[in-house]
Amino acid sequence: MSTFSGASASQRPDQPDPTFWSGKRVVVTGGAGFLGSFVVERLAQLGAAEVFVPRSSAYDLRDLSAIHRLLADVRPDIVIHLAARVGGIGANRDHPAEFFYDNLMMGVPLLHESWKVGVEKFVTIGTVCSYPKFTPVPFQEEELWNGYPEETNAPYGLAKKMLLVQSQAYQQQYGFNAIFLLPVNLYGPRDNFDLETSHVIPALIRKCLEAKERGDDHIVVWGTGTPTREFLYVEDAAEGIVLAAERYTGGDPINLGSGMEISIGDLVHLIVRLTDFSGEIVFDSSKPDGQPRRSLNTDKAEQVFGFRAKTAFEEGLRRTIAWYDQIRSGVALSER
């Protein structure tokens, strides 16, 4: 059952409460990554006493002894578990065993050991890839178990979904305050732009900018362009996670999204326009499309802990393109 702890009387329902975070010690696994870096910044703005980011070189979360050291070193009040092995369709297809094992073995022992040492709250970040391949659109949380995930990312999605089972089991048996969030595809500055492992938006931005720079007359896009996706700007996602960590104590999974849906074909044309690429778009239908449609019902996040995405999609894309173009220019200058 969903539970809302509520905001203070003086607090806006869509804004975190700094008085909640003052004095809190928070571990953010994956805090040096794309989404994690924005969560860490937001917690610092809210006055958290300590925000600790365990680096894999010092704390390999697949190693139980490293988890023991982490919890003993920090003694956190809250753990926000963002660390994951992630990637686009190609990376999921090429590394299914690693995506399953690494994500499961980072999460299960960390939650268990956090419960054992008395962590007050554990926030697990799941994935929209856990939903069945043919989930009715918009995806509602109640549909999560009504089918098997899309095959190319099923090992990743199922590993993450087991952390939901664990969260619910520990809440049921031990009363452990463990919650589970389901964000849709994210995008924004600091994303991964490596064409071998990136998701669709950074890959398209990079392809367009580099093709424009080289004077290419076309770009190649995987698939048919017909599947749809929903995207959430990374700063909005960070805000949703912080609000849920502060206010939500229920066992039900909660979607985090923007409530919009766009076809890959329309997305490509939009990015082509925003990057001023004038060449043609060639869809390679021999490559996989992935899940046919993907869009979330986001009513519960707003009702339960006051979250609603604020960043318009085109504005978020403009910021992302500008950030990556600046990074590329800086790299180019440093190599001269």
Residues known to be catalytic: 156
Q: How far apart are CA 228 and CA 318, in angstroms?
A: 20
Amino acid at 74: V
Residue identified by tokens 């520990």 is 170
For residue 50, count CB atoms less than 10 angstroms from its CB and return exposed for 0-12, middle for 13-18, buried for 19 or more: middle
Q: How far apart are CA 129 and CA 93, in angstroms?
A: 13
Closest alpha carbon to 258 in 209, 201, 203: 201
Residue 331 phi/psi, 5-degree rounding, is -65, -45
Residue 81 phi/psi, 5-degree rounding, is -95, 100
Contact 138, 82 (CB under 8 A): no
Q: How far apart are CA 127 and CA 109, in angstroms?
A: 19
- Edge-to-edge, what's the strand order for the sheet holding 78-81? 50-52, 25-29, 78-81, 121-125, 178-183, 254-256
Residue 78 phi/psi, 5-degree rounding, is -135, 140
Residue 124 phi/psi, 5-degree rounding, is -100, 130
In the chain, alpha helices (H): 18-21, 34-45, 64-74, 89-94, 96-116, 154-174, 200-214, 234-247, 264-275, 299-305, 313-334
Task: Please count the CA atoms within 13 angstroms of the CA of 252 that sit on its side-chain side.
Answer: 15
